[in-house]
């Protein structure tokens, strides 16, 4: 049998408690192809050894509710 693969997309609500420029998520075995923060493109960097995805926001996020959307394979 061939290797199993999957793909998907998700949008989540994020409550920011203090201003930040990055968001770090657990990301084991995911290849994130794109991300956006409040509808604006955001840069992503995967650290496979730590199994973490760092999302660099397009601007500093103020405290409050925001949306983070991403697609992965």
19: phi then psi, degrees, rounded to nearest 5: -50, 140
Give pTM, 2 decimals: 0.85
Q: How far apart are CA 15 and CA 18, in angstroms?
A: 9
pLDDT of residue 63: 97
pLDDT by 10s per residue, the chain, length 73: 567 777 899 999 999 999 999 999 998 877 888 999 999 999 999 998 999 999 999 999 999 999 999 998 7
pLDDT at 22 (0 to 100): 97
Q: What is the pLDDT of residue 1?
A: 56
């Amino acid at each position: 049998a061939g290797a199993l693969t999957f793909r998907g997309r998700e949008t989540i609500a994020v409550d920011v408690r203090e201003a930040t420029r990055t968001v770090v998520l657990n990301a084991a075995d995911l290849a994130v192809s794109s991300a956006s923060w409040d509808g604006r493109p955001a840069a992503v960097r995967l650290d496979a050894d730590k199994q973490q995805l760092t999302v660099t926001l397009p601007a500093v996020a103020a405290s409050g509710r925001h949306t983070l959307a991403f697609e992965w394979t």
